Amino acid sequence: MRNPNAPWSNTSINTNFPNPYSMQWNLSVQRQLSSDLMIETAYVASRGVKLNYVRDFNQVDRVTGQRNPAFGQNRFYDTSDSSRYHSWQTSLRKRLSRDFLFNVHYTYANNLSYGDGDLLLPDQRPQDINNLRAELGPTPYDQRHRFVTDFLYELPLMRLTGASGRAATLALGGWQFSGIFTGNTGSAFNVSQPTSLPGSRPDYIGGQAINSNYRQTLQYLNTAAFARVPLVPASGAPARPGTIGRMALRGPGSVSIDLGLAKNFAFSERFRFQFRAEMFNATNHTNLGGVSTNIAAANFGRLTNAGARVVQLNGRLTF
């Protein structure tokens, strides 16, 4: 049973809680270069308004360490967040002809918000609940550059060998080779400092924030570029907000080549079967990630995970 004399803690919601909404607009140009080749370039943008935001009220006073003793620290939900997205997107597409098709896509984008920029209940907290302007920065989904290309080639084994007949069709027909190349810059992340106030960040004191030799050392952040904000003993809170911005740094980018080889069997007009072998990150390129972002952690700034090749076999029966 709850102690009736304990401080009361709860979650409250702003009584004025309008529905979030978004606006989208774009301007695009398409040009057909040949009978099977087309290029498109477009400006694509959106604006999210009245998105969910969370603040913690009745926080301890930074200096005195005091707060209303009748209450604990309370979460408060309102619609203070908003987001903006601007991008330039370009695509080159080739339809299937002469057994070959491909697509090439490039996106340059910028995605900003004051919190998570999402409709879900956000995880992030502001450093200063009274200064939301200082929280404007990239969303967790922001990727500045993204390049993707894919292809499909139907292997012309029947034509090259001159084979014919039912047995030759089952053995040599229906082979497909495909691939996807993906390259993108890293996503933004927060550098945090654990204190009695949620959302605290340290100071950026100058210098190169990211080490140039991180692939050899796995030490992504230059720890000398950051410093903890002094804590006030009475409150356990930082004496002031840290100077580094929200989501101010970006993780390492990634490059991946996925390859697939498929064999299609057409037993009849009704029954078809496909066997497919796929390799994700076929070249086994080491994509590093998982930066330790807690300045108080022993491994602060270290990279903690890496991607590896994955092989997958599957079959699909269609009838």
- Split into its structural domains, the chain has a count of 1
Residue 9: inside a domain:
no
Q: What is the pLDDT of residues 66-97, one digit of tens each?
A: 888 888 888 889 999 999 999 999 999 999 99
**What pLDDT sits at residue 2?**
45
Distance, in Å, from the CA atom of 50 to the CA atom of 294, rounded to the nearest integer, reads 30
Evaluate whether residue 75 is within a structural domain: no
Please write the tens of the pLDDT for every residue from 240-261.
999 999 999 999 999 999 999 9
**Segment 160-178, tens digit of pLDDT:** 888 788 888 778 888 999 9
Is 129 contained in some domain? yes
Domain that holds residue 302: 27-44+95-104+123-318
Instruction: Give the pLDDT mean for 118-128.
Output: 81
32 located within any domain: yes
Could you tell me if residue 284 is inside a domain?
A: yes
